[in-house]
Chains A and B, each alone.
Chain A
Amino acid sequence: MRIPPKYTQILAVTILGAATVFTVAVLVFIIVFVLSKGLPGINWEFLFSAPKDMGRAGGIFPTLVGTVLLPLMAIAIALPLGVGTAVYLTEYTRETRLTQVLRFGTDCLAGIPSILFGLFGFIFFVVMLKMGWCLLSGGLTLAIMVLPTIIRTSEEAIRAVPNSYREVSFSLGATRWETVLKVVLPNALPGIVTGVMLGIGRSIGETAAVIFTAGSALRMPASAFDSVRTMSVHFYILAREGISNEKAYATAAVLIISVLAVNLAAYGMMHRFIAKRSR
């Protein structure tokens, strides 16, 4: 039996629409749920004072600092390495078996569970290099973890820059490096920023790899060699050890709002950049 196109059309729209509504509804539910439970617990004191009694009372300031510093360090390490690799793979090498293997390897790395990166970071940075649980160990581990994402998104973004732009640049006497700097990277920037955002998101949300490498000390870090606790880890410990549900939800709410703020800021910056170039 053949269904008339008119009805398949209606059916398709209904199914696709329902899928969208369902997805968005789940997301909205989680966010509303966490915010409604957490927002009442948030005030200036909660944000900017030290925790007391293992987090049962007081605020989350050190974990807030940890959540800012750790992803920042990870991105500071991963961004130049990742973009550099992507530029090298796309602009400086021809497509060979080796680049295909490299690309396949990167894709595999991107899918590895984060706890394995945590284990590696623990064995290599914390134990072998005797760095201990610290901001630097955690930052390096997270950098390795987000590197594949940054490499692949940057690579796609660089590939999407029209070849005619490169040709024009070369024809005007630019070297390959000048072409990369003046034409390729500026035009690939929105895509690279997307990769960085994904990386920051993953780093902020990461728990397992962070406990293994940065530890979970509830103090203010004084240097890169001090242990830190991020909000995700704090939330995990509060909830898991049953220390305080109320504080756990409040921390989660702050976490969601920070991720949202980071994304909004990045989009804002990107739009201003694009607007400036195409005015």
Chain B
Amino acid sequence: MTPKLPIKIAAHDFRVFHGQEESLRGITLNIPANRILGVIGPSGSGKTTFLRALNRLNDLAPETRINGQVLLDEQDIYAPSFNVVTLRKRVGMLFALPVALPMSIFENVVYGPRLSGVRNRKRLEEIVETSLKAAFLWDEVKDRLMMSGLRLSGGQQQRLCLARVLAMEELEVILLDEPCSGLDPISTAKIEEALTILKAKYTIILVTNNTKQAARVADETAFFLMGDLVEHGPTEKIFTVPDDQRTNDYVTGRFG
């Protein structure tokens, strides 16, 4: 067994409703720090809803209500006193479709730091270099940082988005929502490699439709089905000897 790690995020009987529909039905899940948690399950199982709840992006949808608790470092992120802007700086998100903002590569990366009030040009340049290096994009773009981010390829844009998240100095948790669904194998490999390095510093939650990807990079895996958390455990166990028959059926490709 791996040594006991501190819990970074803990969900207690957490529920999300979209209008009348209950999209998450009481999720209780402890996510350890400095690990990659893979979240798998067929589409419509609530994986993305769960992920978006962790940095409260669900707040933006008018019909959404929540119930239960999500604790980040033992603090309830849905408590009225919890500052949602601070939360989103600590918990960054990478979307399924890469969205480079229509501005230069440089400005894309420093979007977060500028919001936090970093003004010093030299400091910003340092942030851009370290973030792009960590996202394995630096070598491809270092000579054209002032070029629009929109002119990069899809795979490069997704790494730019990763760099943009990493640029936030307050960052502690990275949420990834099927980040490789539209990418070529090389870009996918680069992102996966980046993640395995980044977990030393951050807690990573990776939602993926690609069970093989979870098997490759995740330390722990959680299987969602129809809004329920069916099973959660070390990745080798989930993929070899799961406790639940449904998990077994899913990872062996019998449905999903």
Question: Which residues of B from 103 to 145 have beta carbons under 8 Å from A?
Answer: 103-104, 111-112, 115-116
Given A278-B150, A279-B148, answer yes or no on A173-B168 (Cβ-Cβ < 8 Å): yes
Q: B103 to A277, Cβ gap below 8 A?
A: yes
Chain B residue at minimal CB-CB distance from A162: B99
B55 at the interface (CB under 8 A from A): yes
B164 at the interface (CB under 8 A from A): yes
Q: B88 to A172, Cβ gap below 8 A?
A: yes
| Chain A contact surface mostly | helix
Chain A residue at minimal CB-CB distance from B88: A173
B95 at the interface (CB under 8 A from A): yes
Q: A172 to B165, Cβ gap below 8 A?
A: yes
B197 at the interface (CB under 8 A from A): no
Given A165-B101, A171-B88, A277-B148, answer yes or no on A178-B95 (Cβ-Cβ < 8 Å): no
- Ordered by A's residue number, 12 sampled pairs between the chains whose C-beta atoms are within 8 Å are A162-B99, A164-B95, A168-B161, A169-B101, A170-B60, A171-B92, A172-B164, A173-B116, A174-B111, A175-B85, A183-B101, A277-B102
Q: A172 to B95, Cβ gap below 8 A?
A: no
Q: A173 to B146, Cβ gap below 8 A?
A: no
15 more A-B contacts (CB under 8 A) besides A162-B99, A170-B88?
A: A164-B99, A165-B99, A165-B101, A171-B55, A171-B88, A172-B88, A172-B165, A173-B85, A173-B89, A173-B115, A173-B170, A178-B115, A183-B101, A278-B148, A279-B148
- The answer for the CA separation of A174 and B110 in the assembled complex, in Å, is 12
CB B205 to nearest CB in A, in angstroms, measures 14
CB B174 to nearest CB in A, in angstroms, measures 11
Chain B residue at minimal CB-CB distance from A277: B102
Residues of A within 8 A of B148 (CB): 277-279
Interface centre among B62, B101, B104, B146 (most CB of A within 10 A): B101
Residues of B within 8 A of A114 (CB): none
- The answer for the CA separation of A175 and B60 in the assembled complex, in Å, is 12
Chain A residue at minimal CB-CB distance from B108: A168
Chain A residue at minimal CB-CB distance from B165: A172
Question: Which residues of B from 137 to 190 have beta carbons under 8 Å from A?
Answer: 146-148, 150-151, 161, 164-165, 168, 170
B97 at the interface (CB under 8 A from A): yes
Chain A residue at minimal CB-CB distance from B161: A168
B57 at the interface (CB under 8 A from A): yes
Residues of A within 8 A of B93 (CB): 171
Q: A167 to B112, Cβ gap below 8 A?
A: no
CB A236 to nearest CB in B, in angstroms, measures 45
- The answer for the CA separation of A170 and B147 in the assembled complex, in Å, is 23
Residues of A within 8 A of B146 (CB): 279
| Chain B contact surface mostly | mixed
CB B99 to nearest CB in A, in angstroms, measures 5
Using a Cβ–Cβ cut-off of 8 Å, how many residues does chain B contribute to the interface with A? 31
B252 at the interface (CB under 8 A from A): no
CB A179 to nearest CB in B, in angstroms, measures 10
Q: B95 to A167, Cβ gap below 8 A?
A: yes
Residues of A within 8 A of B151 (CB): 278
With beta carbons under 8 angstroms apart, the residue of B62, B102, B168 that contacts A94 is B62
Listed from nearest, the 8 A-B pairs whose CB atoms lie closest are: A173-B89, A173-B88, A171-B93, A172-B112, A164-B99, A278-B148, A168-B99, A173-B85
- The answer for the CA separation of A165 and B89 in the assembled complex, in Å, is 17
CB B2 to nearest CB in A, in angstroms, measures 30
A203 at the interface (CB under 8 A from B): no
A153 at the interface (CB under 8 A from B): no
With beta carbons under 8 angstroms apart, the residue of A94, A168, A173, A187 that contacts B95 is A168
B67 at the interface (CB under 8 A from A): no
Residues of B within 8 A of A162 (CB): 99
Interface centre among A168, A173, A277, A278 (most CB of B within 10 A): A173
B75 at the interface (CB under 8 A from A): no
- The answer for the CA separation of A151 and B104 in the assembled complex, in Å, is 30
Q: B57 to A171, Cβ gap below 8 A?
A: yes
Question: Which residues of A from 255 to 279 have beta carbons under 8 Å from B?
Answer: 277-279
